[in-house]
Structure formats: C-alpha cells, structure tokens
A and B are shown apart, each in its own frame.
Chain A
Amino acid sequence: MRESTFWPRLLAHPWILGIAGILIVLLLWTGVTATGLVDRLFLPSPAAVLAAGQAQASAGILGRDLVASVTRVFTGFALSAAVALPLGIAMGTNRAICQLLEPLMGLIRYMPAPAFIPLLIIYFGLEELPKVMLIFIGTVFFNTLMIMDAVKFVPHELVETALTLGGKRAQLLTRVITPCIAPQVLDTYRINMASAWNLVIVAELVAANEGLGKRISLAQRFLRTDEIFVGLIVIGVIGLLIDLGFRLLMRRACSWAN
C-alpha cells in the first residue's frame, strides 16, 4: 500500500527528483576523481573546481568576467528583442511586409551566426560592438519569425470582435494583438536567450579581454581544466536563472495563459 502513494507524492514536487539528478552526477564525479582512475588534468575533483572558483571570485576575476558577459548578452538581446517585436507584428499583420521579408529572413536565419564574426571584426573592430552585433544577428531573425507566427495564430474572431465593438486599427495592435501574443513572445525570448549565451561565449573565444568565454580559452592555454569547469558551471547556472526568470515573469504577467 505504501508504494502506491510514494511515487505520486514524489512526482508532485518536481524539484525533488531534479535536485536528486544533479546530486547523483556530483556523487559520481566525486567518486570517479577520488579513485584516481582518471588523470586530474582531464577531470579535476569537485573540490578542486570549487577552490578554483573561490580563487577567481576573491581575485575579482569572476565578477568582472560575469559582468562583461552578462552585459554583452543583455545589450545584444535587448536590441534584438526591441527590433523583433514591432517587426514580427508588422510581418504577422501585413501580407506585403511578410512576403517581402520572410524569404530573406528564412535565408539569413540558416547562416550560422559565428560565421559572421570575421565580417563583424572587419566592420567594428575588436571592442564591444562586434560581440553585441553577433548576439543581435544571431537572435533577431529567430525572434522576429517566431513572433510573426504568434501573430498569425491570433484567432481572427478576437480581432473582428474588436472591430464590431467600434475599435480602430491602431487599437487592434495595442489592445488585442499585443496582449494576445504576450505569452508566446516571452517564451520566444526565453528560448532564444539560450542562443545569445552560446554566441557570447563564441565571440569571447575569438577576441576579448574579459568574459566567461575568454576565461575558458585562457584556461585551455594553461591546461587549467578546473577553471574551464568553473566557467562552464557558472554559464549553466546563469542560463538556468535567466530561464527561471522568464518563466516567473510569464506566470506573473500572463497567468491567464497557464
């Protein structure tokens, strides 16, 4: 009888198994490194990674890298989000604009963003601008096309009801279409934010003075695998926090859609 209530109760708290999964990997990792079977150079112990992280944090390196990478991601992505929203809505509501831009965007979207790095460096040098532009280019087409799709799925009854209630064209955009697509827009941003993180690391591997990606490539040069692990884990945690942030915002702002 006991077993029959155990699983449902456990599954009712999704984070329990989630944390268990992480702990299992941590335990395996500790176990494998403790046996000494694997060369430390390839796989440092969790304690060594923690120590490396602490050393970087207390030297102020970690904080500076974090600020540098996060600033790039947020600037580039904010720009992308701000362009994609009106453009996606315009393409979703206007057939001419859609026919003009959709094939073009569909084409550019499949060009791998990192392949633009050489061009961006030639155009914008080695400072912040090329990195921000890479994140912008790498996410703006996905953001736009996904928002356009969300607009196309707005039930036409909702738009037409507003018209029969005396709504003006401009009101359709602000009072019907925008609130209706808000949940999908937030979800689009949440999903494409992951690409922004990929791209900032790629950009920093190529050219940067600081940033989490830069730290990883420096660590590689000096065979500091512990520092590579620090970088990877920090990037993962920040990504997860941003993801959770978007989910929380969605639950707060768009509770009607759950």
Chain B
Amino acid sequence: MDLRQSVRIGLIELRSNKLGSFLTMLGVIFGVAAVIASVAIGAGAREQAMEQIAQLGITNIRVRPLVLEGQERVSADQQNPDGLSLVDVKAIAANCPFAHRIAPIREITATPRVAGRTINGTLLAVTPDYRFIVNFHPVRGRFIADLDMNAAEKVCVLGAEVAEDVFGDAVWETISGQWIQIGMDIFRVIGVMEDKRSVSTRASTISVRNINRDIYIPFSVAEKRLRGVNGESALTELIIDIRQRRDVRQAADLIGTILDRTHGGVRDFELVVPLDLLRQAQATQRRFNMVLAAIAAISLLVGGIGIMNIMLASVTQRTREIGIRRALGATRRDIQTQFLLEAVILSLVGGIIGIFAGVILGAIIAHYAGWNTVFSFKAIILSVLVAATVGVAAGLFPARRAAGLHPIEALRYE
C-alpha cells in the first residue's frame, strides 16, 4: 500500500475529529513552541552578550577604581591616597610582559560648551593608543597624536552623536577647527569618531557606555591644565591590551599582583576581564539550555502520552474498520503503518503549528520585553524531527495493538 494513500486515510481520520485532534496536539504544540521561542530568546541574549563583550575587547583587561566604605576607606586613604594612577601604568608596563598597550583614561567632570551652550558629552582624557586598544577610529580628521601629547595641545575629538548635536549635518570642512570650551580653556576640534551605535537596547549585566557621546582630549593636557579641577588626580579607567588571547587569564592575575603591591595591599580597584565575562555568559547559556531541554522534554513527553492515549482510543473505536480492512487484504504491517502514520501526522502537524506559535510567541516577547530574538533554521528542523520521533514513539504501541487484532474478532466487535 502506498504511502500517499496512507497519509490520505490518516488525514481523513484526523479531519473527522478536528477538535479531538487539536486537543491531542496541544502538548506537542506547547513543547515545540517553547523550544522555538526560548532558543530564539537564548540565541538573541547570547548574540547580545557576545557583541557587548566584543565591544569591551576580548584581549583587553580593564582596571577600575573601587569606592570603598568605612574602615577600608580609612586604610585606603592612608596607604594609597592616589587610588588608580599613572604609577600603576608604569608598574604594569615594567612588570607585565603580556601587556601590549596600556591606555590610562581619566574622566573630566568639567562641562563642555560651544558658544555658551552646554554639550551633552563625557569628557575623557586619553592617550593616542586608546583608539587601537578599543578599536575605535575617527571618520573625519584625525585622532589625538603623539605630537598633541608631547606639546599638550588643546585639541579634542568628538563622538559621532556629540558632533551631530553640535554641528548637525555640517560638512567636515566647517567643523574642523571649531572651538569647544572646557572649563576655562578652549579646545580645537581635530576629528570626529566613527558611529558605534550599540545595536542592543536591552539592559544587560555587562554595561557598555555609549561611546558616541565621548569627547576625547590629550591625556597630557588633563594632567597639566585640568589637574585639580575637581581634585582628581586618579584615573577613571585603565585598559590593558594583552598580546595573546591565551595569556589574558594569566596576565589578569599578574596585573592584580602588581597593583596589590603599588596600592600597598588595598583592594581599591577591580579587574574586569571580558574573556571571563564571555566564559560566564557561555556557562549561563549552557545552564539555560539545560533547563530549556528539560521543559521541552517534559512537554513533548506529555504530548506523546496524549497522542498515545487518543491512538489507543482510536484503535478501539475503529476495531470493525480494522477487521474490514483485514478481510479486504490488509496485512498486519499495513494496519500498523496506517496507525503509526496517523500518530506521526498528528505530532508533525502539532509540531508545525508549534513552530509558528513559537515564532509568534518569541516575537511578542521580544517586542514587549525589548529583547533580541534570533530564530534559527536548525532549531526548526530539529523541532520537526523531534515531533516526528514523538509521533513514532507514541504511535508504535497502539499501532502494534491494532495490527495484532484477530480479523474475526475485529469484524465481530460491536
């Protein structure tokens, strides 16, 4: 007996009991929908985490000062009143062979203005290496150069959004050489940075600043002219670029040791290692996947039991039909195939509805929670295969029972 005919017979059967078939499919529908939606959400979260980690720089180590409280603060003030400083930069450069470049960053709390108008931007004093370490480059003009550093030139480079705010869509020629007032000094605009709008809008454990709102000035200028504007001699952040990715972990430990020494044992800093964050994200992802798999397995198991249940009922209901088919020449195998196929159709249709439901569900969640979702073709194929397997597993026992019926007893069944 050909497969197409079996499928047709199966469809006629299932269509004759639409509501029952649908209710039976619910388990599979939920199972598959849960898998599709959560795989999409998981993949979206993962992509986002990766993006943010990549933005931090995978071979970078960041050192940030910690604000201490109480007794710790007292001892920190005694042992290491400068906090994170250029002393640390020198110590790391001298003692950490893994370090390729080191970028000290100091945030200046002065308000930048243009023609008396306040600009919404973050002032950062950086060295020329900064752009290589964070892989962030100017699109117009140039970045801070060694010359600017040595001469402590009062120049600045604007982030894309800052430039847009201040100059609108003016051409570079009219922007170049304009002046920005910071504190008591005026700074010449020498460049505009590329637009690195973060794709993500979703809140995340790894916070990434909007670097499009940064304004960069030479570090040496901050050191000489802006020192003491707010009494800051300390660094806001220290980024160390490690030559080899495989050395990052070891380098982080070494830098921790060096800083402990320069800070007299006071832990007034924290080390942020994006590579560690990546590993954490991956571990979280694995746990998430496991929970997901468990939920899916339970839903599909329940769905499978539902299908088995209705198939057993169907075998009883259609005992006479089985007898008639046997009298007309159906072999045991024909009967088994027919019922097995019905179970598979049931779960496959459920699976396909589940895929649509999952995509819609994922889209709704993504829309309302503001999460990223990534729908993968692989997950969809996998769902179809799993649904088919559930159908076979659930249908086998009822199908065997149907095939095992004695023709005469089946024909006599009332």
Are A and B physically bound partners?
Answer: no
| Interface of A toward B, CB cutoff 8 Å | none
